[in-house]
Amino acid sequence: MNDWQLVSDSTCDLNPESFDTGDIPFATVPLKILVGDREFVDLPETDPHELLAAMKRFSGASSSACPSPQAFAEQFYKAAHTIAVTITSGLSGSYNCAVQAMNMVLDEHPEKKIHVVDSRSTAGSMVLILRQLKKLIEQGIPFEEIVRQIESYRDSMKIIFSLANFDNLVKNGRMSRAAGVLASALNIRAVATNTSDGVIEVIEKPRGEKRAVERMVALMGRYKDMTGKPVVITHCNNPGAVQVICELIKSTYGTKDSDITVLECACLTSFYAGDQGLLLCF
């Protein structure tokens, strides 16, 4: 049995084989996306382009399903100390299922130390939390103090994202068809962030990708001092916009290339962000 391990649900957009956690084992627990009678399991080998194509062809509402408590518990049994990170509980039941798994495992093995972090965000915010956990664990800090520090670190995180495609919102009844058609016709990009409770809040509705990208980068400085801060950019089929964002962040805040990480959306994040979606986490 391992002494330490890190666990995340698959909305972190990380491949466990390529994410460097040093000597600390890292595992992801996949969510699922249901499109008609097709099920897409959010694994590294599942193609998000195929998912998006299936969603576009399907006229009905698609949905996501969080991992079962048993899926999390299988991982929690493997180490003496485990910290798990999940997508915001404001969007998914993943956090609640992980907490159920934690309680189940602790009932059987009260000597274990397990904690579940509600990221109150997703994607790059979870990456930053996992990287910070790695640093704290390697420093030999006691479990309870790591929990205190990582919850505080989580509270300092922010995500700003932009949606370019509203089809999924319309099909799932979260936006009227008329509003969706109008937004597309006017080339509107919804720019949103997360509240302190992890709920989505639309803050601006610029027209066109260029303006949306400029506003996203400008808003970063409104939320925190960006000096020396790492940034994770996640995108869904939009590498051109990412290149512009990287240059704007570097010129606006003096951010180094080494402090910027770019990831492609995996399936679940693609489901929420939609084609051409952009997420900035810092």
Q: Are residues 10 and 78 in the same domain?
A: yes
Q: Are residues 197 and 126 in the same domain?
A: no
- Is residue 248 situated within a structural domain? yes
Q: What is the CATH number of the domain that holds 144?
A: 3.40.50.10440
Indicate if the pLDDT at residue 174 is higher than 70: no
For residue range 81-122, list pLDDT tens digits in order.
999 999 999 989 999 999 999 999 999 999 999 999 999 999
Contacts of residue 63, defined as CB under 8 A and 6 or more positions apart, other chains included, come to: 33, 34, 172
Q: Are residues 229 and 140 in the same domain?
A: no
- Is residue 80 situated within a structural domain? yes
Last residue of a domain, one of 120, 135, 156: 156
- Is residue 141 situated within a structural domain? yes
pLDDT at 175: 63
Q: Are residues 232 and 199 in the same domain?
A: yes
Q: Are residues 187 and 138 in the same domain?
A: no
pLDDT at 75: 98
Indicate if the pLDDT at residue 182 is higher than 70: no
Farthest-apart Cα atoms in the chain, separation: 59
Mean pLDDT, the chain, integer? 95
Indicate if the pLDDT at residue 166 is higher than 90: no
The Cα–Cα gap between 46 and 39 comes to 11
pLDDT at 85: 99
- Is residue 52 situated within a structural domain? no
Q: In the predicted model, what is the mean pLDDT of residues 140-159?
A: 98
For residue range 9-50, list pLDDT tens digits in order.
999 999 998 899 999 999 999 999 999 999 999 999 999 999
Tokens of 105: 């495992």
The Cα–Cα gap between 52 and 89 comes to 24
Q: How confident is the model at residue 200 (pLDDT cuts 50, 70, 90)?
A: confident
Q: Provide the domain limits for residue 137.
A: 2-31+66-156
- Is residue 130 situated within a structural domain? yes
- Is residue 60 situated within a structural domain? no
Number of domains in the chain: 2
Q: What is the CATH number of the domain that holds 192?
A: 3.30.1180.10
Indicate if the pLDDT at residue 155 is higher than 70: yes
Q: In the predicted model, what is the mean pLDDT of residues 161-168?
A: 86
Q: Are residues 126 and 244 in the same domain?
A: no
The Cα–Cα gap between 29 and 34 comes to 17
